[in-house]
Structure 1
Amino acid sequence: MLLYITMFICFISSLIITPFVKRLALKYGVTDLPNKRKVHQKAMPLMGGLAIFISFIIGFLILRPTDSKVSVLSIILGSLIIIITGILDDKYELSPKLKLAGQVVAAIVVVLGGIEIDFINLPFGGQLEFGIFTIPLTIIWIVGVTNAINLIDGLDGLAAGVSSIALITISGMAVLMGNFFAATLGAILLASTLGFLLFNFHPAKIFMGDTGALYLGYMISVLSLLGFKNITFISLVIPVIILGVPLSDTFFALVRRFANKQYIFGADKSHLHHCLLRLGFSHRQTVLIIYAIAAMFGLAAIIFSMSTMWGSIILVAVLLIAIEIFVESIELVGKNYKPLLNIMKSTKKTDP
């Protein structure tokens, strides 16, 4: 009962704090200016993630969840490092190297606090010990997920909504696995994010900025480690499926930039949401479509966790094929959209 009350407090806190953060961002010029790569047409206040963070801390101080195996303080300290990195980037546009450095430091802090993947149990027997690769692999996971959420933050409410769907799935599965510490953190973070989403959904009144995108990505990566560490190889795939939308979008972005000999940490307009917009979907429709895809990934993760080993393998194969077909379809239609549109227009003009 106390958890539900705390979630409500976090939600209301986020509703109250977000307008103050908006005024703070406008006062100090922490805004996102429009350009040819961005969708919005006017300067928008950034730093909205600060409201999510403060609301989460309020809920954390009320419940004070603990875990005997990890240092809760390390999670909060890592969060603070990420928030500071995000605020500085929103204000001064840090170089990719400085942003990455902040993420790595935050990841190291939580690793030192006891959050890491030591080993996995293999499906056909035996155990795979990571040994000296334990810390590097954990850091790569945290930094990778953090940037995956950041990369999809291109439309009003997109990153906040996809993150909320991931948090619902992670928290729900943590409850099923008896990990109430991870479930509690996920629940209060979810409530804090949903409160902010009311101001961030199209048409947005404030953006979460890197302050929010990096923070949500960081927390989701940590929560997935808390909920699915030291388990079977098959179960280790669960957080990857849950984060299917941001991770697949990030993967294809890296492949695309490498193939086109572009700067790998640069920006472009070929992400999933950009492709859907070019297909003619409205801003709101595009976001809702990606929400639906994220929800399907979440449902697939739940089904995956309840399947037999061979059933799980088949499900992963089907998901990979579906992702490939979807991406190829988007790229094909995207390339031919304008010619098709011109043909349709010319047909209408000549139609008696």
Structure 2
Amino acid sequence: MLYLYLTMLICFALSVIFTPFVKKLAFLVGATDKPNQRKVHQKIMPRLGGLAIYVSAMIGYLILRPWNEDSLYILLGSLIIVAVGILDDIYELPAKVKFLGQFVAAFIVVVIAGVQVTFINLPFGGQLHFGMLSIPISILWIVGITNAINLIDGLDGLAAGVSAIALITISGMALIMGDWFVTSMGLIILASTLGFLLYNFHPAKIFMGDTGALFLGYMISVLSLLGFKNVTFISFVVPVLILGVPISDTFFAIIRRIVKKQPLSAPDKSHLHHCLLRLGYSHRETVLIIYGMSAVFGLLAIILSQAAVWVSMIILVVVLLALEIIAEKIGLVDANYRPILKIMRVIRYANGKQN
């Protein structure tokens, strides 16, 4: 473990050293983010910062050399993802091209390497085998989480911080399970992300861009897939809970666009962080609130993995209900979308009349 801690320290230091050079490179190659009506920042910002995270993490990998039979395929997929991210940060690729790159990276890991969820043990006995669906489900997981992290990358330090919290949780649970590869890779990427976060927290000096958001999303999705595949139904839900903030934000974004009859890929300014800003929270307060939400999800995931089945089911129901109420209160779907709150209002009104 001492060797791992030293490698983490090296990754952190390298990320701190590399980021200023990447910032200069971003301006040199035109990888900049210009302000518009959908953006929060007010000046041109360099957005290639994820390259510092990636290079630092890969050097950490070469130092520590954690290994399993899927390592080379995972690293190849990450290289494709980072290449797509770099090109997008410079040239702003069409959504279809970015999706194709993500699909290829996921295909390599799922189909060629065979990293996939094939079955889960059901809570009250028996197994659910996915059969041929295991491949599309696993690819959908990787592509979905990769895009979920990218979607929340809307405020200084937000995606980096949420990813760091997810990596801490995944690495900690992998350590408990005795999975050295997932533990070490998670902590290497965590250290590299924290080094970059020094420059990315509000007020940010550089953005991670798609290079960083796609890389972090891809690696988090793959590591969680490696750590929690072919287990119980509750353990299957654990990585979903760990990534509760980006997944729920993406889910409500899809619902919002369906309700408003917009294309699923249509950008808007109604994500979780936008809603909190509209409620009057400052930029930094909004980021810290979402950090807190991510930490709560991580803690619940750990509790869920250790609790009895019936306790876990109660926790899941409470979490889902709380998410829906929060989404309705802050207008995450639409200001008029409040089905649960309306039901609660009717119940209160009925109780008031009875009293």
Instruction: Give the structure-1-normalised TM-score.
Output: 0.93
Whole-angstrom distance in 2 between the partners of 1:280 and 1:129: 47
Structure 1 position 245 matched with structure 2 position 249: no
Alignment correspondent of 1:328: 328
- SS of 1:144's equivalent in the other structure is helix
Matches within 5 A, 1:164-175: 164-175=164-175
Matches within 5 A, 1:227-306: 227-306=227-306
Alignment correspondent of 1:38: 39
Whole-angstrom distance in 1 between the partners of 2:131 and 2:320: 29
* CA displacement, residues 207-232 of structure 1 (integer Å, 9 cap, x when unaligned): 00011001100000001011101101
* CA displacement, residues 157-185 of structure 1 (integer Å, 9 cap, x when unaligned): 00000000000000001111111210110
% identical equivalent positions = 67
* CA displacement, residues 218-269 of structure 1 (integer Å, 9 cap, x when unaligned): 0000010111011011110000000000000000000101110111111100
* CA displacement, residues 257-299 of structure 1 (integer Å, 9 cap, x when unaligned): 1110111111100001001111111100000000000000000
Cα contact 2:328–2:335 (8 A) shared by 1: no
- SS of 2:125's equivalent in the other structure is coil
Matches within 5 A, 1:1-352: 1-67=2-68, 70-111=69-110, 112-331=112-331
* CA displacement, residues 318-340 of structure 1 (integer Å, 9 cap, x when unaligned): 000111111111129x959xxxx
- SS of 1:237's equivalent in the other structure is helix
Whole-angstrom distance in 2 between the partners of 1:270 and 1:134: 33
Paired amino acid for 2:48: M
Whole-angstrom distance in 2 between the partners of 1:96 and 1:40: 23
Paired amino acid for 1:284: R
Q: Which moved more, 1:284-293 or 1:111-120?
A: 111-120
Structure 1's unaligned 5+ residue stretches are 337-352
Paired amino acid for 2:311: G
Whole-angstrom distance in 2 between the partners of 1:121 and 1:335: 40
Whole-angstrom distance in 1 between the partners of 2:331 and 2:130: 38
Whole-angstrom distance in 1 between the partners of 2:335 and 2:232: 42
Whole-angstrom distance in 1 between the partners of 2:178 and 2:315: 25
Whole-angstrom distance in 1 between the partners of 2:124 and 2:303: 21
Cα contact 1:72–1:113 (8 A) shared by 2: no
Stretches of 4+ aligned residues off by more than 2 angstroms: none
Whole-angstrom distance in 2 between the partners of 1:54 and 1:266: 32
Whole-angstrom distance in 2 between the partners of 1:283 and 1:155: 7
Whole-angstrom distance in 2 between the partners of 1:122 and 1:293: 28
Whole-angstrom distance in 2 between the partners of 1:263 and 1:73: 36
Whole-angstrom distance in 2 between the partners of 1:324 and 1:124: 27
- SS of 2:266's equivalent in the other structure is coil
Whole-angstrom distance in 1 between the partners of 2:124 and 2:278: 46
Paired amino acid for 2:15: S
Instruction: Give the structure-2-normalised TM-score.
Output: 0.92
* CA displacement, residues 3-54 of structure 1 (integer Å, 9 cap, x when unaligned): 0000000000000011111000011111000000000000000111110000
Cα contact 1:149–1:246 (8 A) shared by 2: yes
| Structure 1 position 114, deviation (Å) | 2.6
RMSD: 1.2
Structure 2's unaligned 5+ residue stretches are 337-355
Whole-angstrom distance in 1 between the partners of 2:314 and 2:250: 24
Cα contact 1:107–1:143 (8 A) shared by 2: yes
Alignment correspondent of 1:349: none
Alignment correspondent of 1:345: none
